[in-house]
Chain A
Amino acid sequence: MSHEQLAQLGDHGELGYKHMDHSKDLNGKKPAYPDLAVDFCGIKMKNPIVAASGTFGFGLEYADYLDLSNEVGAISVKGLTPQARNGNEGTRIAETPSGLLNCIGLENPGAEAFVEHILPELRKYDVPILANISAADVDGYAFMAKTLTVEGVAGFEVNISCPNVKNGGMAFGVCAESAAAVCKIVRQNTDLSVIMKLSPNVTDIVEIARAVKEAGADGLSMINTLLGMAIDVKTRRPILGNLYGGLSGPAVKPVALRLVHQVAQAIDLPIMGMGGIMTGTDAVEFMLAGADIVSVGTASMVDPGAIGQIAREMHEYCEDTGIAHISDLVGALQPY
């Protein structure tokens, strides 16, 4: 609903919601506009920003910098695997122009340790938790779905696109059949929302998206990182211990926007869009391209309070442009 339409309704006086003082209650009712709250695949979020897996620890690391219960839409926790993993050896991070390469290699304490030790701490906050899961084989994904379908987990972000592990990971996500097989087994083992995280390192992402939709996915998360490389000319060696790594940050944003747009045009599934979002307007671009919600990753590494700042900037954008509800932006891209 546009600002003009709202103003005509007269609900909030002659000037409409845009000119109201949002800090004050309205006849005892909290002012509702602009409204950032969303429902994504049945998961209710106070704003459309998910803390991206792998950049936000388990969320607790950021509790000093953000009000997790009110400033963050949802948290996708560090990628979990059936067993604990130490991750990759050697240098795991390389800075590139407006970007970041990483090859952490899914360091995590394992699904069961997460449920036992970390989830109880996280449940103290009023924020939906997405379990980001990976496994080396289809049975492993089944185990993950079963183990993590517990009180306190709101849904699954199924990682079939990690570029940094030798077995599983991206291998599942680059082929439509295996992507669908993983989606199907997770679907069979949980009644929670299943969001498939897609890899950009494919020839036709729409084909993969279609395959996981048919296999029962509730939503899509895109994009994972772009496979990349960095070289040190002094030593003439690769900078990353794992040779290649996943590229994130502002450098990938144009690619991510294009992929989100392509999939949104072709597939009718909710999309969590991500890739280099640093500001509120970056997030708005993703929503215009067709993302229902967004995810912020690398920005949190630069500024631990980035998600709160981006949410405020989205709110401001809505106020300035007369958007009553953030979801009004989804797919609202105008023709050139």
Chain B
Amino acid sequence: MSGYVEMARVLRNEQIGSDVWIMDLYAPKQAAEAKVGQFCNVRVTGGTAPLLRRPISYAGFDSNEGTITLLYRVVGSGTELMTKLKEGDELDCLGPLGSQFELTDNMLLVGGGVGIAPMLCIASKLNEVEDTTRYTTEEEEVEIQPMASKKATVVLGFRNESETFWADLFKDCPVEVYVTTDDGSVGTKGFPTAIMGELITSERGEAQRVLTPYLTGAGKSELMPQNARLEATTQAIEEALAAAPEGVSVEAVAETADAAAAEGCNIGFTSVLTCGPTPMMKGVAKVAEEYTVSCQVSLEERMGCGTGGCLGCGCHGRGGKRYKVCKEVPVFPAEEVFF
């Protein structure tokens, strides 16, 4: 299924910045199937002006509650109309559309502008339970565990301190948020690319991290990456030994388990995920490539239909390929679309 046309009910529509709003909607079909990085296409009026839908990334979704969250910047008549919606009003939403981010064990999330929304979506999922443990049964109380295997660090780029409300949205997510501003009024002066190098090397344990986070969200693990690694390998060895059959060399079992655990556990960021203005994403992809970390980008393009029917949002891929941004992208490995 590619998407549903749903008359979603507005639960909250609040201004959180000078031109940025947050909207919660009851849209159970989308909430049940949405994946991080996907978007919905919003029809802001039943009339013909503005005519087209507005593509807006999910900033969050909750399949249990049946809700989706949208962050939008007022840029024209369409988004202006959205600000007029009140609790209880209906909004025609088509989604979930597009491709999704592939989450890895340790992610560096880099966001700029409304591109922060999908990064917030990923961060919010780190507290969420896995599908398999979501429900409790009468016989058995299944312990609800956070997605302990995955973690993330966030870098956000702002023009100046007036935009820090974006960072505050991450306060309930288990992440550290680092901030850069064009004028240096908060965090580090410059673009997110200015601090990516230090974050990547310090995460690997190759250098000391001097940077201090703007915000540390709730539930963020206190363990340093190195400690986490030690703990993971120790645990892996213990488990392997317990499961090992009689007569097998203890050293051999321990060595294999240690190597496997070391490979699997966090020895630095395993991916960079980014969404924001294209020049920023190109810069982010370049730094990621320098440090040989795989990078996924979420493209923005003027869209017609959102469903792959009009070819209005095509982009070039490596080797002369063409992609439909709405359907086959918006999330893509950086090397496939920036070259």
Contacts and interface: CB of A to CB of B under 8 A. Distances in A.
A94 B301 CA distance: 11
Contacts of B1: 64
Nearest to B316: A86
Interface stretch (B49-57, B171-179, B269-277): B49-57
Interface residues of A, number: 33
A92 B313 contact: yes
B314 A92 contact: yes
Nearest to A58: B309
B125 interface: no
Contacts of A57: 307-311
Interface residues of B, number: 27
B123 interface: no
Interface in B35-88: 43, 48-53
Given A93-B310, A303-B43, A250 B48 contact: yes
Interface in B281-317: 302-305, 307-314
Contact of B307 (A65, A95, A249): A65
Given A61-B307, A87-B314, A98 B3 contact: no
A102 B314 contact: no
A55 interface: yes
Contact of A249 (B3, B43, B48): B48
Nearest to A109: B322
B327 interface: yes
A298 interface: yes
A91 B314 CA distance: 9
Interface string B1-42: 111010000000000000000000000000000000000000
B94 interface: yes
B2 A302 contact: no
Given A99-B51, A304-B94, A305-B5, A55 B310 contact: yes
Interface string A44-76: 000000000011110001101100000000000
Contacts of B322: 86-87, 107
Given A61-B307, A93-B302, A298 B51 contact: yes
Given A92-B314, A94-B302, A107-B322, A301 B48 contact: no
Interface of B: 1-3, 5, 43, 48-53, 94, 302-305, 307-314, 320, 322, 327
10 contacts: A57-B308, A61-B2, A87-B311, A92-B312, A93-B304, A104-B310, A104-B312, A298-B51, A302-B52, A302-B53
Given A61-B307, A65-B307, 7 more contacts: A92-B302, A93-B310, A95-B50, A100-B52, A107-B311, A302-B52, A304-B307
